């Protein structure tokens, strides 16, 4: 059967400095444990403006306006070398400001839990009129808004989570149950933000690719949030809820989880669904993680940096039947870290990178670009976590040296040539392999590269059910066209041809036997 | 160097994970009192 293809990928960033302060877990924990800390007092001085977030070079890469190779040549620290005059709109994505995002959260609210103040609602209606992703129907869904005293009362007396623009209260999110912690205001806020950010990027994917929302058969949601109640904490299903906002009336879907590796698992599953012929068009997507906002903020503030983790991320990828043009997913060369693979870096890279390549008769250098954990290094280095993409590239190169495929002296060159700098926010599943798919699709189509490997890794141990971690990979390759596939019949086609031939032979033999008896 | 010492191991998912460090430390004769792998991203 024909390999499935990547028909397109789109990306989203949402600049949410107020959610960072109010709802990021580093900040909420600090507020509980150490309410008078200097960190909480000083964080306000380290908040970026929307303009600075848009002009931040890695964010411009994430939405497709700057290529990863160009970023590698740009002067760092990038937060001091902003690209002024940058657009919030990119070829592969978009950056949304926080006030507009509150409107998206309101539109994504199915249970009247999001309240926006009257005057603020009027401002949003004016601002979003004419927005190509926000419809007239969405504007009517915003309603007329609520009086500020109603919102203040909900925050003061009913444990509602405030929605701020700076010091100004502009709305709130109510809890959905008075006891169940799974439906608390904080969880509803996180889940609504994950849903809304995924819904925006889904709509963008549909619009930019010029496809009908009705043509999508199945949606796989791969974030790290959990929606459910006290009797089924992770019941789901974000995918269908997001599809509803996206207008995908012919789709159902499910949520696939694997910590940061969720998107890579989701894409492998989508490829299988398409290649088997079960579905024609499957969207794999994920929205942002509110909890992770400002995760390394203490180190950023202590070292005088802006708090760079002020962005929610999102992505959506369309996997479709082979069209003879778009890059294929080599479903016969899937890498996976098994339960018994072992945890040493060498064992991990052997399982995820080397094993699938060996199966396909390929060498480590035959992959032009590896997309690993693509976290922006200047977020993680000040916090002592190092340059994560670089660490991964060095491990891949070291494996190539060990296998005798690379000279030790060329290790760093290999990392430069086959890697790229991290350009995705530290939003868990968001930087894990998928940020490069948009560029990879274009570069494969332009014959700039022949193959790319997408790698997802997940920290399963954080859930305290196992000490294991996880990782999966798949290879994107140039499409050789439908014609070539026809020239080379697959296993199933050969089986069919053989069966037909045997049937014909059997018929002939029976006929001959009949003739003989008749004689 | 580590013989008879008590050791706490904090590994890193994208560096050397805890269980891998544990295997090395065991061979040096140390007593491992705690192992964890952390994820900073």
Q: What is the pLDDT of residues A352-409, one digit of tens each?
A: 999 999 999 999 999 999 999 999 999 999 999 999 999 999 999 999 999 999 999 9
A408-422 core/surface letters (b: 16 or more CB in 10 A; e: else):
eeebeebbeebbbbb
Chain A residues whose C-beta sits inside 8 Å of any chain B C-beta: 260, 296, 342-345, 373, 375, 380, 383-386, 388, 391-392, 426, 428, 431, 457, 459, 461-462, 467, 469
Q: Is residue B14 part of a domain?
A: yes
Radius of gyration (C-alpha) of chain B in whole angstroms: 10
Measured distance CA(A208)–CA(A185) in Å, rounded: 34
pLDDT tens string A204-216: 999 999 999 999 9
Looking at beta carbons, which residues of chain B come within 8 Å of A375?
41
Looking at beta carbons, which residues of chain B come within 8 Å of A373?
14, 41
Of A156 and A514, more confident: A156
Domain limits at B15? 6-38
What is the value of pTM for the model shown? 0.91
B17 in A contact zone (CB under 8 Å): yes
Identify the band that residue A486 occupies on the pLDDT scale cut at 50, 70 and 90: very low
* Stretch (H or E) spanning A198: helix A185-209
Query: What is the rounded average pLDDT for all residues in chain A?
Result: 95
In this prediction, residue A496 carries a pLDDT of 63
Q: Look at residue A483 and tell me whether its pLDDT is greater than 60.
A: no
For A82, half-sphere exposure in the C-beta direction (CA atoms, 13 angstrom radius) is 17
Q: By the 8 A CB rule, do A106 and A123 touch?
A: no
In this prediction, residue A487 carries a pLDDT of 47
Please state the domain count of chain B: 1
ipTM of the complex: 0.79
In this prediction, residue A518 carries a pLDDT of 52
Of A1 and A27, more confident: A27
Q: Is residue B1 part of a domain?
A: no
Q: Look at residue A516 and tell me whether its pLDDT is greater than 70.
A: no
């Amino acid at each position: 059967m024909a390999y499935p293809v990547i028909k397109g990928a789109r990306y989203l960033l949402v600049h949410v400095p107020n959610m960072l302060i109010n709802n990021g877990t580093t900040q909420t924990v600090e507020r509980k444990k150490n309410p008078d800390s200097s960190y909480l007092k000083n964080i306000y001085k380290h908040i970026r403006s929307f303009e600075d977030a848009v002009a931040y070079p890695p964010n411009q890469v994430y939405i497709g306006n700057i290529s990863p190779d160009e970023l590698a040549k740009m002067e760092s620290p990038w937060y001091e070398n902003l690209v002024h005059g940058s657009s919030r709109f990119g070829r592969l994505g978009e950056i949304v400001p926080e006030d507009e995002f509150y409107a998206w959260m309101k539109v994504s609210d199915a249970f009247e839990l999001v309240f926006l103040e009257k005057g603020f609602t009027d401002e949003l209606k004016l601002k979003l009129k004419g927005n190509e992703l926000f419809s007239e129907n969405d504007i009517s869904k915003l309603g007329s808004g609520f009086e500020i005293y109603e919102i203040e009362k909900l925050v003061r007396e009913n444990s509602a989570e405030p929605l701020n623009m700076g010091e100004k209260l502009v709305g709130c999110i109510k809890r959905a149950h008075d006891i169940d912690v799974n439906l608390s205001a904080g969880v509803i806020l996180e889940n609504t933000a994950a849903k809304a950010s995924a819904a925006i990027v889904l709509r963008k994917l549909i619009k930019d690719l010029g496809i009908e929302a009705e043509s999508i058969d199945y949606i796989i949601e791969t974030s790290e949030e959990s929606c459910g109640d006290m009797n089924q904490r992770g019941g789901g299903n974000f995918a269908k809820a997001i599809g509803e906002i996206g207008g995908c009336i012919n789709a159902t879907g499910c949520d696939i989880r694997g910590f940061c590796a969720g998107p890579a698992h989701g894409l492998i599953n989508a490829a299988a669904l398409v290649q088997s012929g079960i579905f024609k068009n499957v969207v794999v997507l994920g929205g942002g993680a509110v909890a992770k906002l400002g995760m390394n903020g203490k180190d950023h503030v202590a070292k005088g940096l802006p708090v760079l983790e002020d962005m929610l991320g999102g992505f959506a990828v369309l996997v479709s039947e082979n069209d003879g043009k778009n890059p294929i997913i080599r479903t016969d060369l899937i890498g996976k870290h098994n339960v018994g693979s072992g945890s040493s870096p060498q064992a991990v890279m052997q399982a995820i990178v080397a094993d699938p390549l060996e199966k396909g008769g390929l060498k480590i250098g035959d992959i032009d670009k590896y997309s690993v954990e693509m976290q922006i290094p200047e977020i993680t280095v000040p916090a002592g976590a190092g340059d994560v993409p670089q660490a991964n590239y060095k491990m891949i190169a070291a494996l190539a040296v060990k296998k005798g495929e690379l000279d030790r002296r060329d290790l760093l060159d290999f990392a430069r040539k086959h890697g790229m700098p991290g350009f995705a926010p530290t939003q868990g599943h968001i930087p894990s392999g998928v940020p490069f798919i948009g560029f990879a699709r274009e570069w494969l189509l332009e014959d700039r590269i022949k193959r790319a490997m997408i790698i997802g890794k997940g920290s399963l141990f954080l859930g305290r059910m196992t000490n294991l971690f996880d990782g999966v990979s798949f290879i994107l390759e140039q499409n050789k066209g439908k014609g070539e596939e026809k020239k080379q019949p697959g296993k199933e086609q050969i089986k069919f041809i053989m069966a037909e031939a045997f049937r014909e032979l059997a018929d002939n033999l029976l006929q001959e036997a009949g003739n003989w008896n008749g004689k | 160097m580590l013989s008879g010492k008590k050791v706490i191991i904090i590994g890193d998912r994208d560096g050397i994970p805890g269980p891998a460090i544990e295997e090395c430390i065991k061979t040096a004769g140390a007593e491992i009192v705690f192992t964890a792998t952390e994820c900073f991203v």
